[in-house]
Structure 1
Amino acid sequence: MKRKEVWDMYLFRLLRQTIDSEWKAIIFYLVNTAFLLLIFNLTFTGSLIVYPALISLTILAAYLTVKAVMMHSFLHSLDSAKHSKGYASYPETCKEALVFEVIEDIHGRYHDIIVAINDKLNGRNSMFSSFIHNMKTSLAVIELACVNPSQDALGDIALENEKLKRNLEQALNILRLDEFSNDYVPERVDLHSLVSTVINEKKRDFIYAGVYPKLHGDTAYVYTDKKWCAYILEQIIANAIKYTPPGKNIYMEITPDEKRTVLTIRDEGIGIGAEDMPRVFELFYTGKNGRDHKAATGIGLFMVKHIAKQLGIEVTLTSAIGEGTKVCLSFLSKL
């Protein structure tokens, strides 16, 4: 199609859009003009109405031309607004200004949503890359152990198999986070029994690390989801084991109250520096300890904070270098 034909079509469309936008004003102007011409004709006998009619139509044409130019500017700005944020707009009226303000607000909101989705996607890609790398390492160890089978090799295979199970469970839990409400079953849970179960499941880790669990407190019932709460405890205890030197203890104490029951998990580990404390719950943040311990992923505490918020569990963490770390979980009591 030739440029002239395109331009003619655009002008025709612009004129139509201008008339559609200003039809009320045009009708009002024509009715008013007809009324004035009628008064002019009745007042001045025998006078012609051609001249005032031409003047009136000329004024209308000038008005439509101005409005068409304004419509062209508005449509151009609107087209720019559809494609990008921070566009240059030159509203001619208050309504146009409001339209661009709404579009800018929509752009801002969707931009924030897209950034959040991209961050989440990048985070997940990094997490699953880490899981896959860890599982490949475990598979390589198992493969080497199978080449030279022995009693020690069987122990290595069992250890790597546990690592594979933990990585797979971690990956599944991350996938379940988006549908947490569908996998959440609140119930009356014996917190003492649940902590004891988690300690027993971590028995091998305690033995290998040479660290000793100390559980204090009596039976206390809380209102929570048993499976997800156990996952939180596993993450906190796993961190405590990882950063506690051999021969030290990890203390767990349950303090019940009428409204809240507090579980305190305190280790005698290396502690966390003051500069790292504000960011310990951020995804992938490992801090100085993470750089010294290559197994750190910066996922555990993030998951703890995220899931605890969904469960209504208040989480606080205090720590100091050389003095260990204390994590307090405050549950809603169910007496």
Structure 2
Amino acid sequence: MSFFKYIKDSLWTILYFIGVICTINLILISSTALNKSIGDILYMNILIFSISLLFLILHYIKWKNSYKNFRNALYNKEDIDDFLPNGEKLEQVLIRETIDFKNEEKLRETKELKEDLEEINDYITKWVHEIKIPLSVCELIADKIEEEELYDISEELRGELERINFLTNQVLYTSRASSYSEDFAIEEINLYTLVKSVIKNNMNSFISKKIEVEMDNLDFSVFADSKWTFYVLDQIINNACKYTDMHGKIKIFAREDEESIKLFIKDNGMGIPPKDIERIFDRGFTGDNGRKTTKSTGMGLYICKKIASRLNFNIEVSSQVSQYTEFKITFYKIADYFNVTKM
């Protein structure tokens, strides 16, 4: 607060003081000979004014210093609890009591919100497990259709079932993403084994679109959470299948340097427009490709980026329209993963 603002806030006190001085002056003037006392009265007024101004400036400096850290914390959006004024003045007590009240209020709201989210997550988890039962039954039906040699119908049904399964798992992982730190375990993972599992999970998509998969130089071990890393690769490879034309090609390979192991997933599909590439990890963003092909939720890559940031690996993408799209996932060496345990 500026000095002039402080003067404005102290206006009534100053007016009271001026009133008292004026009253004293009137009494002195009326009770003594004016020609004998005017010099003494002026001297007294100058002296009182000087002392009062000095007192006002010193009090302003003291007052400002007592709230300096608190004010800076507010402006810098820092935690203000460590900078609350600790004096016993009424305004200082009120500030502390107000902050305590608002903290308790926010804690109650946070607790209620957390309980509501936990209920929703529990419901989603149970629903996902329940929906997998009819999905399994549909798989058996597809097998029976194949036995009747109705391969086109069976292939179409399996493709839709794979998509339903993919979207169901996406719902499950999205619901868990907010409480991810309670559900991870860093371990050594073989990239070849992990990629092979993801490809197997998307096999129907590869077969239906006759997409060639080329894997090269994947025999590396990285440190990550296997379940969540599987989800990230599954999202990226599933997208590669979705946006690659018939008889397309997806190449998956890895490279190692002193600091990291980089996994590349490259397809020769439709590519990503330059205006969209900076936003593909934004929540709910679908872009031109998402609107042209299938109805996209815009959540898959957003969750991937969120998981990557918490697991301390990095995802980058480069693309050229009608040429290729390449995702680069950088897994840092083990020393960097100590940061994950601090989350």
User: Please, what is the CA RMSD of the aligned residues?
Assistant: 4.5
Equivalent AA in structure 2 for residue 300 of structure 1: G
Q: Given that residues 257 and 333 in structure 1 are in contact (C-alpha distance below 8 angstroms), is that contact kept between their aligned partners in structure 2? A: no
1:234 corresponds to which letter in structure 2? D
Q: What amino acid is the match of 1:249?
A: K
1:221 corresponding residue in structure 2: 221
1:320 equivalenced with 2:310 (yes/no): no
Cα distance, 1:303 vs structure 2: 1.5
| 1-structure distance, mates of 2:158, 2:250 | 25
1:156 positional shift: 5.1
What stretches of structure 1 move > 4 A for 4+ residues in a row?
93-104, 144-147, 153-160
TM-score by length of 2: 0.55
Contact 1:263 1:330 in 2 (8 A): yes
Cα deviation code 1:233-286 (max 9, x no counterpart) = 010000001001111211111102232100011110000111111211112211
Q: 1:154 to 1:249 in 2, by over 3 A?
A: closer
Check 1:262–1:322 CA distance in 2 against 1; reply closer, same or farther (3 A cut): same
- Between the aligned partners of 1:192 and 1:302, the Cα distance in structure 2 is 25
Residue matched to 1:189: 189
Unmatched segments (≥5 aa) in structure 2: 1-90, 336-343
1:197-276 equivalences in 2 (<5 Å): 197-276=197-276
What SS class does the counterpart of residue 281 from structure 1 fall into? coil
Letter in 1 for 2:323: E
2:268 and 2:160 map into 1 onto residues whose CA distance is 27
SS for the counterpart of 1:275 is: helix
Q: Distance in 1 between matches of 2:163 and 2:149?
A: 19
The answer (yes or no) to whether the contact 1:198–1:234 under 8 Å persists in 2 is yes
Alignment of structure 1 residues 14-33 onto 2, 5 Å = none
Partner in structure 1 of residue 46 of structure 2: none
Q: Determine if contact 2:170/2:300 at 8 Å carries over to the other structure.
A: no
Note the C-alpha offset of 1:293: 1.1
What's the secondary structure of 2:179's corresponding residue? Answer: helix
Cα distance in 1 for partners of 2:185, 2:93 equals: 51
* CA distance, structure 1, for counterparts of residue 159 and residue 245 of structure 2: 20
Instruction: Output the CA distance in 1 between the equivalents of 2:321 and 2:167.
Output: 29
2:198 partner amino acid: V
Aligned to 2:172: 172
Q: Do 1:262 and 1:328's aligned partners in 2 also have CA atoms closer than 8 Å?
A: yes
What does residue 37 of structure 2 align with? none
Q: CA deviation at 1:157?
A: 4.9
For 1:161 and 1:247, the matched residues in 2 are separated by 22
Measure how far apart 1:227 and its partner are.
1.1
Quote the residue 1:284 is aligned against: 284
Aligned length: 241
Q: Hey, what's the Cα distance between the residues in 1 that align with 2:204 and 2:267?
A: 18
CA deviation after TM superposition for structure 1 residue 151, in Å: 4.5
Are residues 97 and 307 of structure 1, via their aligned partners in 2, closer, same or farther at CA, if it must alter by over 3 Å?
closer
Moved more, 252-261 or 194-203: 194-203
Instruction: Give the SS at the match of 1:276.
Output: helix
> Is 1:162 aligned to 2:157, yes or no?
no
Partner Cα distance (1:270, 1:159) in 2 = 21
Q: Name stretches of at least 5 consecutive residues in structure 1 with no aligned partner.
A: 1-92, 108-112
Partner of 1:294: 294
Would you say the 8 A contact 1:192–1:254 is kept in 2? no
CA distance in 2, matches of 1:250, 1:174: 26
Aligned residue for 2:173, secondary structure, equals: helix
3-state SS of the aligned residue for 1:204? helix
- Greater shift, 93-102 or 153-162, is seen at 93-102
- Give me the TM-score of the superposition, normalised by structure 1: 0.56
For residues 68-115 of structure 1, give each alpha carbon's deviation from its aligned partner in whole angstroms, at most 9, with x where no partner exists: xxxxxxxxxxxxxxxxxxxxxxxxx999999999999xx9xxxxx9xx
* Distance across 1 between alignment mates of 2:292 and 2:249: 21
Question: Deviations 1:295-319 (Å, cap 9, x if unpaired)?
Answer: 4221211111111111111110111
* Separation (CA, whole Å) in 2 of partners of 1:155 and 1:207: 9
Q: CA deviation at 1:192?
A: 2.2
Paired with 1:97 and 1:178, the residues of 2 have a C-alpha distance of: 33
Map 1:35-50; keep pairs closer than 5 Å: none
CA distance in 2, matches of 1:179, 1:169: 16
